Structure 1
Amino acid sequence: MVVGDALLDRDVTGTVSRLCPDAPVPVLDETTATDRPGGAGLAALLAAAHDDDVALVTALADDAGGARLAELLTAVGVEVYPVRLPGATAEKIRLRAGGQTLLRLDRGGEPQLPGEPPEAVRELLGRARAILVSDYGRGLLRQPTLRAALADASAPVVWDPHPRGPAAVPGTRLTTPNLDELRRLTGDAGGGPTLAAATRAAHELRRRWRAGAVAVTMGPGGAVLCQAGGTPVVLPPSSVPDRVEDTCGAGDRFAATAALALGDGAPVAEAVRAAVEAASAYVAAGGAAGLHRPPEQATAPDTVRTAEELAAAVRAGGGTVVATGGCFDILHAGHLATLQAARRLGDCLIVCLNSDRSVRGLKGPDRPVNPADDRARLLAALDCVDAVVVFDEPTPHQVLARLRPDVWVKGGDYGDVELPEAELVHRWGGRVVTVPYLAGRSTTGTISAARQRGLHLVEGVV
């Protein structure tokens, strides 16, 4: 469930080629006008993109704006539970050109306290799997009956606050202010380094509101998670887009993802990590401006997505493609030495990684110790590794035939023994080389040593 102030957003897009003759302001020649749900409505829309059972409790006036907002939400599968709103439905109109907002016009007047929520709302809150409170300072979250129902709910509550809104209900699992909102909510002027200031203010807000945790969103810096009695957890995004077109809705994407994850039983830190990645991807795809854009036109980070694409790009630029392979079950200093030496032989390094099934076939039923996803993630995090591709066969021959590296590297002292991949690599003119391997470092040796230490400990206890 999403509970909060929904707005009707309209993006008016056009071109600017002249200034107004009676004032030094640009003239926007309108080309398109797009209506979409805003505020809590946008949070519900984003949640519905990842869950087919989303309900929204919001205040709607009996006017054209309220009817249009309900129509847009229902069309994407959101079940709307309206609470009567005196006055007019809030609207935000953005005038945009060249990917930039020139002006925002707000309609709807001052916030007003809505009427009583219907009994169906209170019943639904009692059986929700997760609840996202999306406060946009329009008054819904001050409604006493609704607040009481939120406080009594057994589902995890994520509270996305607004400086003009009320405090979260006690027992809220997670609240998600951005840094500016946090400062305004606590009155903390933010002295000192940003991380220290965010941590200090987050703990203050958590104590005041008796919330389980506070995740402070920091834009491209990701988020800082503060929980009771613990060291703050910093969760940066895995990538930051070079160009940011529109950040509107990033906080909604963050909060909705965290609520869905908590509803599925994820720990708070894991829910926040998923929220950071989802918000980062949302901004990279154009933010709110990208919601109605055809997928093939979506703005995305300028990155190579597959090992094959990387090899083709490097080769097209006249570079040298280097590849190596192995199980890399327990990453150790010997692996690192091999990978660093291999990377120095060309312009990119692709690691061909044995899948779990492939490792079991080579090493036995007790291996691998770490699953392929974890092994690939560790390898990809190394500066000397440009891409990782997992293969399921006993040998890397098939993946090598696709990549066609200029240099195939193996670690260790093979002497005069020709590597089994040599014949294949030579077919396209590639070279096969070995690089020095640090003596005494091996996964098998590491596992054996760990078992021996465990045995000695058990014998000592006996």
Structure 2
Amino acid sequence: MKIVVVGDVLLDVDLSGDASRLSPDAPVPVVDVAAARRRAGGAGLVARMLHQDVQEGRQGTTVELVTVLSDDDAAAHLRAELTDIPLVTGPSGAPTPVKTRIRAGGHAIVRFDEGCAEAPVPPVTGGMLRAVESADVVLVSDYGRGLAANPELRELLERIAPGIPVVWDPHPAGPAPVRGAAAVTPNLSEALKAAGAGQGSRADTVREAADAAALLERRWHSKAVIVTLGERGALLHRQGEGAELPHLVPAPAIGAADPCGAGDRFCSTLALALGAGAGLEDAVQAAVQRAAEFLSRGGVSALGQEPEPTQLHGPAVDALRVARETREAGGTVVATGGCFDLLHAGHARTLSAARRLGDCLIVCLNSDESVRRLKGSQRPIMGEDDRAELLSALECVDAVFVFGEDTPEEALAALRPDIWVKGGDYSATELPESALLRSWGGQTVTVPYIPARSTTSLAAALAEVG
């Protein structure tokens, strides 16, 4: 499979450090820059993400970037940043846009833009057109610099759209997508502006997104419009009068502060999934999940770094990271454990009580194999992925750590909680993990057990009613 990214490239510059004092000249923070990084932005960032995906195991897939470049110093930096990605380029006729972000303590302080004035529509070369025509998937990453408005390119994209997935990530300063695009992916602000609607209240977000998507799908004649909603996920509207209701894919809860690059991660994953033959709903689900994971790992600032091992089966939150960040903030890490095969009121009360003991609650969950060894071949009733997802959906649960041993000692040794909570009337000899907790200064406690509520009694009752 050949994926061709078509669009405008930018040079992103990140200056990061700490801000612990104010300037004597004005009441503004002084950022002591500790690191400076240049990287490809815009369509260059999208191509970089897809190239990384391919390197991580998409054998037989290639990525090519079709763009226009200037001949200035910023363009030279871009070429150096993209040496491992095949480029097919033409002249841009305008300075290279440079966006410089100043970050302090991981948070954006200010951004400076250079060379971002309105640019003329650039010409396209025969090589650029041939590269697009040979693609199995095309992702148009429009950053409002004119390439997506080129008439020859648009004619070609509209001609090939019926036969291959064309994903269009629009820009407010760019042209409308070509007819027949497989998916157009505006964010909420872009969708409302394109639809001629004003910004509404947060309570109206989903309704406004649905109305805008329906209008834009008819106006743009695309097969689908997907409005990305940030922390709320993404809303999918399909083509046609008989289309189903809008489909909302919620996003996992994460604590990321800087959303930079999330939209690029979303549309690149979407294009890759559609090119591999996934249906629209599955592709959107994968894109939402991948965007959340991208942000939870640090976003663009961590792009290209080796990700930390993820121990969590759940909504893109790493249990080890939750424990570490809670400790670093001076908080108390609480953990509890069990099979949680059928969630019931007794579980809810135990988990709620445990969460009130500290600043985060991590549930150590027995894997399917572990449950079978402990409970017999007929258990678990629900698989570990479903059990982890249900637990993660509870407001009192911050993360889930799935372990495969018969006892949670190895999980506890990795998490090192301050408090280990068990529901029921146990003695110290019945909880060998108590000694383990004491080895790092932790404490094991029990909370009241509700004997009338149990998974075994629920399973028996279900068996009786068939």
State which drifts further: 56-65 or 306-315: 306-315
Which of 32, 53, 62 is the matching residue for 1:50?
A: 53
Partner of 2:391: 379
Deviation at 1:179, TM superposition (A): 2.4
Partner of 1:252: 264
Q: Is the 8 A contact 1:7 1:92 kept in 2?
A: no
Q: What residue ranges of structure 1 are gaps of 5+ in the alignment?
A: 297-302, 455-462
- Distance in 2 (alpha carbons) for counterparts of 1:61 and 1:265: 36
Q: What residue ranges of structure 2 are gaps of 5+ in the alignment?
A: 56-61, 309-316
Matches within 5 A, 1:160-175: 160-175=169-184
Work out whether 1:230 is the aligned partner of 2:245: yes
Which of 212, 215, 224 is the matching residue for 1:204?
A: 215
Work out whether 1:131 is the aligned partner of 2:134: no
Deviation at 1:291, TM superposition (A): 5.4
Q: 1:327 to 1:80 in 2, by over 3 A?
A: same
- Distance in 2 (alpha carbons) for counterparts of 1:383 and 1:279: 22
Work out whether 1:180 is the aligned partner of 2:162: no
Which of 347, 369, 379 is the matching residue for 1:357?
A: 369
Deviation per CA, 1:12-50: give whole Å up to 9, x if none.
859996879xxxx99999998754323211211222222
Deviation at 1:348, TM superposition (A): 5.7
Q: Is the 8 A contact 2:342 2:455 kept in 1?
A: yes
Please, what TM-score do these two structures have when normalized by structure 1?
A: 0.74
- Distance in 1 (alpha carbons) for counterparts of 2:32 and 2:234: 39
- Distance in 2 (alpha carbons) for counterparts of 1:274 and 1:188: 29
Q: 1:50 to 1:392 in 2, by over 3 A?
A: same
Amino acid at match of 2:227: V
Q: Is the 8 A contact 2:319 2:401 kept in 1?
A: no
Q: Is the 8 A contact 1:170 1:211 kept in 2?
A: yes
Q: Is the 8 A contact 1:18 1:27 kept in 2?
A: no
Partner of 2:205: 194
State which drifts further: 95-104 or 376-385: 95-104
Partner of 1:140: 147
Work out whether 1:110 is the aligned partner of 2:116: no
Amino acid at match of 1:9: L
**SS in structure 2 at match of 1:51:** helix
Compare CA radii of gyration and give the structure with the larger one.
1
Amino acid at match of 2:196: G
State which drifts further: 192-201 or 94-103: 94-103
Q: 1:310 to 1:120 in 2, by over 3 A?
A: closer
**SS in structure 1 at match of 2:176:** coil
**SS in structure 1 at match of 2:189:** helix
Partner of 1:72: 81
Which of 65, 88, 96 is the matching residue for 1:81?
A: 88
Query: What's the % identity of the aligned pairs?
Result: 43
Partner of 1:460: none
Deviation at 1:257, TM superposition (A): 2.4
**SS in structure 2 at match of 1:370:** coil
Partner of 1:37: 40
Partner of 1:121: 131
Amino acid at match of 1:392: G
Q: Is the 8 A contact 1:43 1:252 kept in 2?
A: yes
- Distance in 2 (alpha carbons) for counterparts of 1:160 and 1:231: 19
Q: Over aligned residue pairs, what C-alpha RMSD do you find?
A: 4.4
Q: 1:6 to 1:328 in 2, by over 3 A?
A: same
Amino acid at match of 1:216: V
Q: 1:106 to 1:213 in 2, by over 3 A?
A: same
Partner of 1:459: none
- Distance in 2 (alpha carbons) for counterparts of 1:19 and 1:404: 46
**SS in structure 1 at match of 2:134:** helix
Amino acid at match of 1:443: T
- Distance in 1 (alpha carbons) for counterparts of 2:30 and 2:341: 62
Partner of 1:306: 320
- Distance in 2 (alpha carbons) for counterparts of 1:372 and 1:169: 44
Which of 249, 254, 257 is the matching residue for 1:239?
A: 254
- Distance in 1 (alpha carbons) for counterparts of 2:413 and 2:296: 33
State which drifts further: 132-141 or 228-237: 228-237
- Distance in 2 (alpha carbons) for counterparts of 1:203 and 1:271: 19
Q: 1:204 to 1:438 in 2, by over 3 A?
A: farther
Deviation per CA, 1:231-290: give whole Å up to 9, x if none.
45152441133x44xx54332222212222333444434433443444455556665566
Partner of 1:421: 430
**SS in structure 2 at match of 1:383:** coil
- Distance in 1 (alpha carbons) for counterparts of 2:164 and 2:342: 39
- Distance in 2 (alpha carbons) for counterparts of 1:63 and 1:316: 49
